[in-house]
Every structure is written in C-alpha cells, then in structure tokens.
Structure 1
Amino acid sequence: MGFFRLPEGTDMTDAVRGLPGDMCQCPHWGYLIKGRLRMRTADGDEEYEAGDAFYWGPGHVPVALADTEYVDFSPTAEFRKVIDHVKGLPG
C-alpha cells in the first residue's frame, strides 16, 4: 500500500519509457483523494477525479491534471520492478 502525491503537470511518460510498451505494467487498485488524473492506455485515455475508486491494469501512464493525492494497493513484486526501473534512470 502507498500514498502518492503528484503535482499538477506530472507526466510519467519519461519514467516508464523502456518498460514493455513504454507503460507501467503493474496493476493498481486505489482511491483518488484529491485532484484529477488522466490515465493513458493503449485503448485510449480515461480521467479520474477525487472520490473515484480505480483499477489500472497493466499498460498505463498517469498524467496529473491537478495536484493529486491517492492511496494505492499494488502487488509488491510487480511494483518493485517499476520502482527499480525508475531508480535506474539517469538524472
């Protein structure tokens, strides 16, 4: 479980580049506490706002449309792969 804050304008495209499909492959379940997110997927974009529960299947890229806070439940092994990838990026 994690609590995340994304400032308005955060676009995770560069962070997930290099993962399969250049998208996060970890599934996430959670609840948006504050803000708005656009989730880009191969099937099109979806928007979420405060008060929405969500499931983001493998193959997504989040973009914060406003200052956003959410609680997230993800499988540890899959999430660790994404975090290790992001930590290995230059800069």
Structure 2
Amino acid sequence: MAGIARARFENATDVRPFGGGTGQMSMLDIDGRAVGRAVFEPGWQWSKHVQPIAGTTSCQADHAGYILSGRLAVRMDDGTEETFEPGDVMICPPGHDAWTVGQEACVVLDWAGYADYAKPVVSA
C-alpha cells in the first residue's frame, strides 16, 4: 500500500466518450483502484450508445455506484427494472440495459464496474 492518495476527475487522462455526443466516462486509477465518473446526457441509452463500442448484447459490467444527479433506469436481461435517483447507491450485476430518465444529465460514481466500460473490444 502506497499510503494516502489523491486524484481529481478534472485531471483524468482516460476519458471515454459515448456515441452520439451523449456523455462520457472519466476513469481514475488511484493507488491501483479504478474509480469512474460517468455523465449520461438526456437521451443516452447503453444499447444505443455503448453497445456498439462494447460489442455485447447487454452491458456485462458489474456496477457498484452512487447517483450524484439525474435519474438512471436499468432493465436486467430478465426484465427486472429499477430507476435510481440522486443519493441512491446502486448495485447492478452484468446483463442489463440502462438509460437516462428525463431532461437532466445523470452523473454516477462507480467503484466496481468502469475499469473496462466503454472500451472498444479488441479482436484477437
């Protein structure tokens, strides 16, 4: 363990834009731990704006996050659905679609599922 560590999303060097100008995800690697901040603009939907990047039929990230602002709806592959609002802590296993609800951008901090989120799939 290196000791106390500090980082700011404003200084992130790993910024991954979503398709169609619908937001971006900023990644920090702080002391070997990945933390991401996603901004999902109104109209963003995983299946429209990230699926073409990820190359999977649904999001396969295992999220543990906190909603800072806006609203985010999530539908699991089995049809279960939940809408998250500011102040909610979110646990969302792999196998889902998600979209911004309303006309306010949704900002999410995620400390589990963003390390490879919105990274293009590289074929071997």
The amino acid across from 1:24 in the alignment is C
Deviation at 1:26, TM superposition (A): 1.3
TM-score by length of structure 2 reads 0.58
Is 2:36 aligned against 1:2?
A: yes
Q: After the TM superposition, list the runs of 4 or more consecutive aligned residues in structure 1 that deviate by more than 3 angstroms.
A: none
Larger RCO (alpha carbons 8 Å, 6+ apart): 1
RMSD: 2.0
3-state SS, counterpart of residue 63 of structure 1: strand
TM-score by length of structure 1 reads 0.77
3-state SS, counterpart of residue 119 of structure 2: helix
Q: For 2:69, which of 34, 37, 62 is the aligned residue?
A: 34
Q: Greater CA radius of gyration, 1 or 2?
A: 2
Structure 1 gaps of 5+ residues are none
Deviation at 1:81, TM superposition (A): 6.8
